[in-house]
């Protein structure tokens, strides 16, 4: 073996070792909390890193045509260093498409006055077209979205149901709770549905979450908001997409707080009362009142069940919603289809409880909201239609 060959071999071995230990993106990116002017982009790496997002106009120039603005993951004026990366970008133009790249730079050591960095990893903008996202437009008169729920980690069923997703025409997906059995660790979330969502659509089309009672269970449940950021910083929030004003509620747990299953850690009654106060403020706003359609999304229905959680939500929330002129409530939880006409079980608006084997395909303009209920095999089981009451 010559010295030159030996040196070459050593260099190759070192390069191979460095490559094997290089930082990698292991999940994402996926889009959250897309509004007229904001987006939050979330991803994971296998090593601690400082991270940012670069965005560019959706034009004919190559992404490398110039340096693009960097938006960092920050908290209290400092960069967030870790394996979960969450970058919120503000002051965007509404109804505008942007190209983007996420970048993570490994942090191998962090001292009070210096940081040692390793290698970079990023989404590809060289060998493939950059990822894109489009901001919302609350003034548009059309929207098209899908709803699934109660997958409990069954990614095969979720994939079958979301075969109705159409890039460019599906504006977003709602996951209406219980997408996993419980939250015991981070990996459950990604294995349970996030990674599959990214594979199907979520790097370029957002999903919105309504927390189910199963997402409130487990030692990792307190970390929920790190993965599904909202405008309120809570699992309950509002969202305006096209002609629809959405109110997303969190029904909490279904049993009394004192139930032995919760081991003294659940305060659902107090939590629902907190939401009732917030809800009173929301339905008094002009933005809510003037929307052509008002839709409530909540995992645990306040009808169709006589367990404590639904009954408590019924006593607190239904009186407010009945006066607010709700056009439709979308629920889940029961694992079976149930449809209540207005005036049934105390709700003065239609309540659609979706099964865990069907998809809701919903589109709306300023005058009409249409719902198609689609089975796992792709056949339609029911169609519903509602007229706007706003003149």
| Length of the chain in terms of residues written | 391
Indicate whether 270 belongs to any domain: yes
Among 27, 283, 331, which residue's Cα sits nearest to residue 174? 331
Yes or no: say if 272 and 313 are a contact pair by the CB < 8 Å rule.
yes
Residues 353 and 270 in one domain: yes
- Indicate the SS3 state at residue 327: coil
Residues 215 and 355 in one domain: yes
Q: What is the mean pLDDT of each run of 10 residues along the chain (391 residues)?
A: 51 46 96 97 98 96 94 94 98 97 97 95 91 95 97 97 92 98 96 98 98 94 97 97 97 86 85 96 97 97 88 92 98 97 96 98 97 96 94 70
- 83, 106, 134 - which closes a domain: 134
Q: Domain holding 51: CATH number?
A: 2.60.40.10
pLDDT at 19: 53
Residues 256 and 273 in one domain: yes
Residues 176 and 82 in one domain: no
The per-residue pLDDT for range 229-242, each reduced to its tens digit, is 999 999 999 999 99
β 74-75/78-79 pair status: antiparallel
Indicate whether 230 belongs to any domain: yes
Residues 200 and 298 in one domain: yes
pLDDT at 256: 85
Residues 167 and 210 in one domain: yes
Burial 197-213 (b: 16+ CB within 10 A, else e): bbebbbbbbbbbbbbbb
Indicate whether 280 belongs to any domain: yes
pLDDT at 314: 87
Residues 121 and 161 in one domain: no
Q: Considering Cα of 84, then 89, then 94, then 100, what sign does the dihedral take?
A: negative
Q: Domain holding 217: CATH number?
A: 3.60.21.10
pLDDT at 258: 84
The residue assigned the tokens 């487990």 is 218
- Domain count for the chain, please give it: 2
Among 185, 178, 82, 97, which residue's Cα sits nearest to residue 137? 97
- 88, 107, 134 - which closes a domain: 134
Residues 275 and 157 in one domain: yes
Residues 342 and 362 in one domain: yes
Residues 240 and 104 in one domain: no
Indicate whether 353 belongs to any domain: yes
pLDDT at 2: 64
Domain span at residue 218 reads 143-387
Beta bridge partners of 114: 111
Beta bridge partners of 55: 100
Indicate whether 5 belongs to any domain: no
pLDDT at 17: 41
């Amino acid at each position: 073996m010559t010295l030159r060959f030996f040196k070459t071999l050593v260099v190759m071995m070192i390069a191979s070792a460095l490559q094997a230990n290089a930082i990698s993106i292991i999940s994402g990116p996926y889009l959250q909390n897309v509004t007229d002017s904001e987006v939050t982009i979330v991803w994971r790496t296998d090593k601690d890193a400082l991270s940012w997002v670069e965005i560019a106009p959706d034009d004919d120039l190559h992404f490398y045509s110039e340096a693009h603005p960097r938006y960092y993951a920050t908290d209290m004026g400092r960069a967030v260093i870790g394996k979960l990366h969450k970058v919120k970008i503000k002051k965007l133009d509404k109804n505008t498409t942007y190209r983007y790249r996420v970048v993570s730079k490994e942090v191998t050591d962090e001292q009070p006055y210096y940081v040692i960095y390793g290698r970079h990893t990023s989404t590809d903008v060289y060998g493939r077209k950059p990822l894109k996202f489009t901001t919302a437009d609350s003034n548009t008169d059309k929207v098209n979205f899908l709803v699934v729920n109660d997958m409990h980690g069954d990614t095969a069923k979720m994939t079958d149901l979301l075969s109705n997703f159409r890039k460019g025409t599906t504006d977003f997906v709602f996951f209406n709770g219980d997408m996993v059995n419980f939250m015991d660790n981070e990996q459950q979330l990604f294995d349970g549905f996030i990674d599959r969502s990214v594979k199907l659509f979520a790097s370029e089309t957002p999903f919105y979450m309504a927390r189910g009672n199963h997402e409130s269970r487990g030692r990792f449940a307190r970390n929920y908001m790190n993965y599904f950021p909202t405008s309120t910083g809570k699992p309950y929030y509002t969202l305006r997409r096209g002609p629809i004003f959405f109110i997303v509620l969190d029904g909490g747990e279904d049993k009394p707080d004192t139930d032995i299953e919760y081991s003294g850690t659940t305060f659902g009654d107090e939590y629902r009362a907190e939401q009732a106060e917030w809800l009173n403020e929301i339905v008094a706003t002009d933005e809510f009142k003037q929307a052509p359609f008002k839709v409530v999304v909540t995992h645990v229905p306040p009808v169709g069940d006589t367990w404590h959680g639904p009954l408590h939500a019924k006593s607190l929330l239904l009186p407010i919603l009945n006066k607010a002129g709700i056009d439709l409530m979308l629920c889940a939880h029961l694992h079976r289809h149930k449809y209540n006409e207005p005036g049934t079980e105390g709700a003065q608006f239609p309540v659609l409880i979706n099964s865990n084997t069907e998809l809701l395909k919903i589109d709306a303009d300023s005058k009409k909201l249409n719902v198609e209920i689609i089975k796992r095999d792709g056949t339609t089981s029911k169609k519903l239609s509602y007229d706007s009451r706003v003149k």
